[in-house]
Amino acid sequence: MGDMARAATTADAFNAVAEPRRRELLDVLALGERPVNDLVAALGLAQPQVSKHLRVLREVGLVDVRDVGRQRMYRLNALPLKELHDWVLSYETLWTRRFDLLDEVVAELKAKEQDSGGDDE
């Protein structure tokens, strides 16, 4: 996996946003670059908690940070997530369709079994 810390992956990014507060942070950052104080105010959490969530998001590459004067400015880099999200959604759509059809088959089998008095099994 490399000689330094394991590189963040798209799955890491995907899993990082399973946390609702981190989703909220990304929603706020989707509106533009923000200093940490704005994020603290927007989320209504204590700064250490917000910083912790920001650190996780930075580690998986979803948030970038830069210094502007004396402020640290955070911004969204959602591209890796978007790509994976598109894949998962599309894959989910395929399976949802398969399972809808499977429902139809199963309903038929159920009706057939009831007709035969359940002696099928």
Partner 1 sequence: MAETTSSRKAVVTLPSDTEILITRVFDAPKHLVYRAWTTPEYIARWWVGDRGVATVVDVDLRVGGTWRYVMTANAGFEVAFHGEYHEVVPNERLVTTEVFEAMPDLPALNVCTFTEEDGRTTVTLLVRHTNKQARDTHLSYGMEGGMNEAFDKLEAIAISLA
Q: Provide, rounded to whole angstroms, the least separation between the CB of residue 45 and partner 1.
A: 25
Binding mask 6-45 for partner 1 (x = CB under 8 A): -xxxxxx-xx------------------------------
Helix, strand, coil percentages in the chain from 3-state DSSP, rounded to 5: 60, 10, 25
Q: Provide, rounded to whole angstroms, the least separation between the CB of residue 90 and partner 1.
A: 4
Q: Are 84 and 61 in contact (CB under 8 A)?
A: no
Q: Provide, rounded to whole angstroms, the least separation between the CB of residue 71 and partner 1.
A: 26
Spatial separation of the C-alpha atoms in residues 111 and 105, rounded to whole Å: 10
Binding mask 62-101 for partner 1 (x = CB under 8 A): -----------------xx--xx-xxx-xxxxxxxxxxxx
Spatial separation of the C-alpha atoms in residues 12 and 25, rounded to whole Å: 17
